[in-house]
Structure 1
Amino acid sequence: MELVVARIGKAHGLRGEVALDVRTDVPEERFTTGAVLATVPPDAGPLTVAATRVHQGRWLVQFAESSDRGSAEALRGVELVVESGESDEEDAWYPHELAGLRAELADGTVVGEVVGLEHLPAHDVLVLRETGGERTLVPFVHAIVPVVDVPGGRVQLTPPGGLLARDAGAVVVDRADDGPEQGSDEHEDEA
């Protein structure tokens, strides 16, 4: 199974360096000099790591196949992938392990199916297709997804009110603190 370890971002400088959006916990192992990485799309690679460095908390990589800014810019958006088996870490899952899991509430009510995982700046989110067909992003944090049972084929959700589309009709919006309505004579001029 192919595992995405990074997505190539914008070019950095004039000599072919690119910034990486890292998707691995061990970038120092994945991006060693001489490492050859497969790509998606496949015709963009494979790419050979010629040099790496961390600049302002961001991984910068130069590939042997990219020696100038133009060729680096052409790599933007390409995913770097490696072959990998199942995760053996506790509380660590690959996207392919999560896709297809049944999403249910604590009482067993099925609310949908996990169709993917997206990496957002704040944290990862599960992409959920609810039973009504709606696409919902669920923050992949322990408070909202306390149980991930890959062998059992399910994740348990404890979503706050209004997170799921199925709950949207039950959300009550309190407008009492919005202030006076426009046109109200609450603030009449005193003569």
Structure 2
Amino acid sequence: MQLVVARIGRAHGIKGDVTVEVRTDEPELRLAPGAVLATDPPSAGPLTIETGRVHSGRLLLRFEGVRDRTGAEALRNTLLIADVDPEELPEEEDEYYDHQLMDLDVVTVDGAEVGRITEISHLPSQDLFVVERPDGSEVYVPFVQEIVVEIDLEEQRAVIDPPPGLIDDRAEIASARQAAEEAAEEAGTTEPAEGRVGDGGGMDDEPKRDQA
């Protein structure tokens, strides 16, 4: 199986180094010196990593045969693709490769259907599941333990415990609120006036000042 592990950015310096946008949780494995990577577009590769180093928080790579800034700039926006065994699992428990999570059914802890994972978005702060709902709309689910409580690869599903508002349909909420208001009007009930407590109206009196 082929997976995108990085995207080449701008050239760095004059000796052929390039910045890369890492798209793998294991750059030390996928982007190590000696790794041979396919490319998109295919005409740019394959590329063999010669050296790698971190500079100002960004990974810099140099490829065999790329010796100057002109050659590095020609690779800009090229995707780097690694061959990965579909059965391979990450070393750490409770970690997953993107391809293992794609197309999983998403349900709540109550068994309600939410949708299907169509994309994993890797943000600086956290990862997000992009979930396509049955009506074609999308909802974004943070991939954190407090929300994603179970990943079951055998059953091909992700179980989530979403906080209020994360996946609620706004139209349904508005409709339910309107129905509740109409029911209250038919029953002849109104909300208590602001600042009043119970039937006694105990907050009508103004506070008294202490006498000198």
Q: Distance in 2 between matches of 1:162 and 1:70?
A: 50
Distance 1:11 1:168, change over 3 A: farther
Q: Distance in 2 between matches of 1:76 and 1:168?
A: 42
Segments of 4+ in structure 1 off by > 6 A?
Answer: none
More off after superposition, 59-68 vs 149-158 = 59-68
Specify the SS of the correspondent of 1:43: helix
- Give the aligned partner of residue 113 of structure 1: 116
Q: Distance in 2 between matches of 1:81 and 1:137?
A: 26
TM-score (norm 1): 0.80
Q: Distance in 2 between matches of 1:65 and 1:108?
A: 55
- Give the aligned partner of residue 167 of structure 1: 169
Contact 1:8 1:77 in 2 (8 A): yes
Specify the SS of the correspondent of 2:95: coil
Q: How much does 1:45 deviate?
A: 0.9
Q: Find out whether 1:97 has 2:100 as its counterpart.
A: yes
Structure showing greater radius of gyration is 2
- Give the aligned partner of residue 31 of structure 1: 31
More off after superposition, 24-33 vs 101-110 = 24-33
Q: How much does 1:117 deviate?
A: 0.8
Q: Distance in 2 between matches of 1:31 and 1:92?
A: 19
* Structure 1 residues without counterparts, runs of 5 or longer: 173-191
TM-score (norm 2): 0.72
CA RMSD of aligned residues (A): 2.0
- Per-residue CA shift, 1:13-47, capped at 9, x if unaligned? 12221112223343333333332111223222111
How many residues end up aligned between the 2 structures? 171
Specify the SS of the correspondent of 1:146: strand
Supply the AA of the counterpart residue of 2:77.
G
Q: Distance in 2 between matches of 1:76 and 1:137?
A: 30
Q: Distance in 2 between matches of 1:159 and 1:65?
A: 50
